[in-house]
Structure 1
Amino acid sequence: MARLDLGGCELYYEELGHGRPVVFLHGVCMSGRFFRCQLPYFSAHYRAVAPDLRAHGRSTQVPSGHTLPTYARDLRVFLERLALDGVVLVGWSMGCLVIWEYVRQFGTARLAATVLVEQSPSDFKWPGWPLGVFDLPALTESMEQLQTDRDTFADEFISLMFKHPPGEADRRWMFDEITRMQQSSAGAILFDQTMRDYRPVLGALAVPSLVVVGRDEKLVPVAAGEHLVRHLPDARLLVFEESGHCPFLEEPDRFNEEVHRFIRALP
């Protein structure tokens, strides 16, 4: 457990093991603690690192900078300060968007591969793009609920993430993590990440990618993963039949083994 000072904002992160760096990037309003089933496993083989992004989890609750371009610049500084090269970035949900924004700004410098878990290249349902999560009325409703009834927002969000409802103990720690973030910051990044469209960026991700989706489609359809595989330069798709939005928690053993196999096959 450590902190990295970005100048006015400290990023909390957990780091275990040695070898090729594998960096886990969480989703919106979440934290690195959602990778609790991954750090012990991957630290036996790699340098496993899980940061809490700006104002998420145990990082500083700064009120500004809640855009994907800022998060990607934070990631660049994070990789540079920790001297992480040949990195495998494992992005979940918004974590994938941070990866694509990083590639848009900086190319694939320092990257060896990516694992892209449960994310469409755009969360907004643009004309001709039905594979997003939100249309404008749904986004407006979520933004309002986040500001006026955050507890219900968090509880419903947890239910949407899983094919099978999590037990009470799991639901409690997830709720506690999600509600750490200030509502104003959460609303800012939720809106920003929803209105980004990374379809034009996919062709620039010129490193091997493993695309992971859950069969349950309450949030991300399998077709979104299929779209990624068709448009990324070097990618293959894995579908987890007993998972929704969190295959790394719902089927952790298979997830860990498949990602480990993918990384071992890298040059």
Structure 2
Amino acid sequence: MSYVVLTSLLTAEGVRLAVRQGGTEGPAVVLVHGWAQSGEVWSHQLADPSFRAYAPDLRGHGASDVPADGYGDSAAWAADLRAVLDHTGPAVLVGWSYGGLVIADYLRAHGTAGVRGLVLVGAVTEIGRGRPGGATGPAMRAALPAALAEDPSVAVPALAEFYERQGRFDGPTRQWMLGTALRVPARVRGALFRRDVDSAEVLRAVDKPTLVVHGTADEVVDPAAGEYAAATIPGAELRHYENTGHAPFLEQPERFAADLTAFVARTARGAENAGVAP
């Protein structure tokens, strides 16, 4: 049986990050959640006994510190993820939604140091008007700017509709996601969008195995964003999940678990063949 342990890490900047850990053996996998969510969203992966799973809460989210700034700074996100990798050792990085952009921030600062492979799930890797790696869908566009409001009478209906359109999973899950989003201060929810980031060169420099997973019915991040990442990262594999929304790991947990487990095992074998310790 796999137990989830909640620990905390202190970044070089002094920001305390909450990290959930599941599993005791196998390769390390770091799971980076999306905008206005937390590491709890990775419950299926944290329970997977085939690898050591680490799911941090990003700064300003979940049980992590809420610093005054850093949300628009690529270097700050890179430093946060570096602190996690310093704790886990070399790992496969899995980024969902905004988590893909955080991974791109890390790659921009550190390259693929400490990275065994990348999995991008319904992810953006860029942000800003006209950035192909940040193409959004109708649910995201409809939610803004109301979802960023301080006034709950404005924000709550917008966020409720946003999570209603995430994908085909049950009401309790959508309510949990709504509650998680409302724990993130409105100023943080808004700050994450006030960025303009081009990641083309960063993606072209990736030299690790990469899997891109995207639901064809994703209304939050346009499937074109996943197609862009897969086309730009050398050798990346793209898997479309048909009739699936923004969170394939919740909507098709068995299929996603099989795909992730196989990918992690493949990267581990590649590291062993290269003479690198697991």
- Above 0.5 in TM-score? yes
What corresponds to 2:83 in structure 1?
Answer: 77
Q: Quick one: structure 1 residues 144 and 154, their matched pair in 2 at CA, closer, same or farther if it must change by over 3 Å?
A: closer
* Ranges in structure 2 where 5+ consecutive residues have no aligned partner: 1-5, 271-278
What corresponds to 2:60 in structure 1?
Answer: 55
Q: Quick one: structure 1 residues 145 and 229, their matched pair in 2 at CA, closer, same or farther if it must change by over 3 Å?
A: closer
* Mapped partners of 2:134, 2:40: distance in 1: 28
Which piece of structure 1 moves more, 2-11 or 23-32?
Answer: 2-11
Aligned positions, number? 255
* Aligned alpha-carbon RMSD (Å): 2.2
Q: Which amino acid aligns with 2:179?
A: D
Q: Point out 4+ residue stretches in structure 1 off by more than 6 angstroms.
A: none
What corresponds to 2:173 in structure 1?
Answer: 170
* Mapped partners of 2:53, 2:203: distance in 1: 25
Q: Quick one: structure 1 residues 131 and 55, their matched pair in 2 at CA, closer, same or farther if it must change by over 3 Å?
A: closer
Q: Secondary structure at the match of 1:179?
A: helix
Indicate if the aligned counterparts of 2:213 and 2:226 stay in contact, CA closer than 8 A.
yes
1:215-240 C-alpha deviation (Å, 9 max, x unpaired):
10312333332222221112101111
TM-score, length of structure 2 as denominator length = 0.85
Q: Which amino acid aligns with 1:214?
A: G
* Ranges in structure 1 where 5+ consecutive residues have no aligned partner: none
Compute the displacement of 1:254 (Å). 0.2
* 1:88 matches 2:89: no
Aligned with residue 20 of structure 2, among 14, 19, 39? 14
Q: Secondary structure at the match of 1:36?
A: helix
What corresponds to 2:155 in structure 1?
Answer: 150
**Percent of aligned positions with the same letter in both sequences?**
33
* 1:126 matches 2:130: yes
1:60-81 C-alpha deviation (Å, 9 max, x unpaired):
222221124311111112211x
TM-score, length of structure 1 as denominator length = 0.88
Indicate if the aligned counterparts of 1:28 and 1:190 stay in contact, CA closer than 8 A.
no
Q: Quick one: structure 1 residues 145 and 250, their matched pair in 2 at CA, closer, same or farther if it must change by over 3 Å?
A: closer
